[in-house]
Amino acid sequence: MKILVTGGAGFIGSAVIRNIIDNTKDSVVNVDSLTYAGNLESLPLIEESERYAFEKVDICDHAELDRVFSTHKPDAVMHLAAESHVDRSIDGPAAFIETNIVGTYTLLEATRTYWNTLSLDEKDAFRFHHISTDEVYGDLEGTDDLFKETTPYEPSSPYSASKASSDHLVRAWLRTYGLPTVVTNCSNNYGPFHFPEKLIPLMILNALDGKPLPVYGDGMQIRDWLFVEDHARALYKVVTEGEVGETYNIGGHNEKANIEVVKTICALLEELVPESSYSKDSAAHSDEDGNVKGFESLITYVTDRPGHDVRYAIDASKIERELGWKPEETFESGIRKTVEWYLNNKEWWSRVLDGSYAGERLGVKG
């Protein structure tokens, strides 16, 4: 099978492509415009595969999408291209409307144009898999409530509202035009190659540099954390085995308060980087009374962001029951792997922080 992956240079998209190339016989066409979060260095050695092709294309460019479909003739689309940072959506929502709504509409139309050229058997086999977020559901009030596939949408931020809109468009293209679509909504991802503006990599890198670890409000916002490689495996299950018209929630079964996540990272760094001047083992980092507090002393509580949802939690029983997927990583194993990856891959994140990454290996600039 040949799969067209939009946003394949992003965090989740690159994990999806690595999984497909490394663990299946399928081919991939990576369609990415290489905005700030698109990093081809998240696909080490992948471009050497004969089963991989890259197209630097904006999903809002209908003509270029038509060319990509005509050239590569994919059997499925996995749509991950999106603006995804909530804080950025609050400061500048226009890009989220353009990419997440207009871009999804444009991609749907380009896909439909191509799909209509296929034979009946090819049409039946084709899939348009839209990858979305649990943030479209808003937040949960009760401590035992879970997001189900039937939970009503109540998005709180410009980001989640734009993703909710794109979800509705995808379902409408199935209902109106018969385009065979499937939707997944996932919880918070983490793992290797995560862009450093997001919570977990930000905390790791700030701590290593002795910078403050900013925590919104009281840090008691709860998220369900999903290791990105588990998510990539789930997405492949859905695009190859999922039923047309269905929605599948994907979660990690790991509800953690933000402050608990940050303190877990601090504890791991104490263990893994004891030589740091910010470790408890170092007398170089102490308060006025001479008490050594370690990495946790860098935690700084900051003003909460507007409209901050309190709790997300996914009921992922449907995908386990119907497709046989469940996460392989616990939060404890996944967060250890993540911290160790950042400690061992300074070249990758250093090039992100100084802006020198930008897809240079393929001779393009983001």
Provide the domain count of the chain: 1
Least confident of 24-38, 287-301, 308-322: 287-301
Q: Is residue 1 over pLDDT 90?
A: yes
Q: What is the pLDDT of residues 295-307, one digit of tens each?
A: 999 999 998 878 7
Q: How much of the chain, in percent, has pLDDT values that exceed 70? A: 93
Q: Is residue 284 over pLDDT 80?
A: no
Give the HSE-up count for residue 351: Cα atoms under 13 Å, Cβ half-sphere: 15
Give the pLDDT of residue 37: 83
* 171 inside domain: yes
Give the pLDDT of residue 290: 58
Give the pLDDT of residue 358: 65
For 333-350, what is the mean pLDDT? 97
Higher pLDDT, 132 or 141: 132
- In whole angstroms, what is the distance from residue 264 CA to residue 295 CA? 10
Q: How many residues does the chain have?
A: 366
Higher pLDDT, 288 or 248: 248
* 177 inside domain: yes
Q: Is residue 328 over pLDDT 90?
A: yes
For residue 243, the tally of other CB atoms under 10 A from its CB is 12
Q: Is residue 359 over pLDDT 50?
A: no
Q: Is residue 122 over pLDDT 90?
A: yes
Question: What's the chain's average pLDDT?
Answer: 91
* 279 inside domain: no
Give the pLDDT of residue 291: 61
Selected catalytic residue, list 135, 167, 270, 309: 135
* 358 inside domain: no
Give the pLDDT of residue 362: 42
* 306 inside domain: no
- Verify whether residue 58 is a known catalytic residue: no
- Verify whether residue 159 is a known catalytic residue: yes
Give the pLDDT of residue 46: 95
Q: Is residue 160 over pLDDT 60?
A: yes
Q: Is residue 20 over pLDDT 80?
A: yes
Give the HSE-up count for residue 14: Cα atoms under 13 Å, Cβ half-sphere: 22
Q: Is residue 361 over pLDDT 60?
A: no
For 107-135, what is the mean pLDDT? 97
Residue 168 is part of which domain span? Answer: 2-195+225-255+311-331
- In whole angstroms, what is the distance from residue 364 CA to residue 361 CA? 8
* 102 inside domain: yes
pLDDT band (50, 70, 90) for residue 286:
low
- In whole angstroms, what is the distance from residue 180 CA to residue 126 CA? 7
- Verify whether residue 135 is a known catalytic residue: yes
Give the pLDDT of residue 365: 33
The 3-class secondary structure across the chain, one letter per residue, is CEEEEECCCCHHHHHHHHHHHHHCCCEEEEECCCCCCCCHHHCCCHHHCCCEEEECCCCCCHHHHHHHHHHHCCCEEEECCCCCCHHHHHHCCHHHHHHHHHHHHHHHHHHHHHHCCCCHHHHHHCEEEEEEEHHHHCCCCCCCCCECCCCCCCCCCHHHHHHHHHHHHHHHHHHHHCCCEEEEEECEEECCCCCCCCHHHHHHHHHHCCCCEEEECCCCCEEEEEEHHHHHHHHHHHHHHCCCCCEEEECCCCEEEHHHHHHHHHHHHHHHCCCCCCCCCCCCCCCCCCCCCHHHHHEEEECCCCCCCCECCECCHHHHHHHCCCCCCCHHHHHHHHHHHHHHCHHHHHHHHCCCCCCHHHCCCC
**pTM score, whole prediction:** 0.91
* 121 inside domain: yes
Give the pLDDT of residue 312: 84
* 129 inside domain: yes
Selected catalytic residue, list 52, 105, 159, 236: 159
CATH of the domain at 99: 3.40.50.720
φ/ψ of 211, rounded to 5, equals: -90, 160
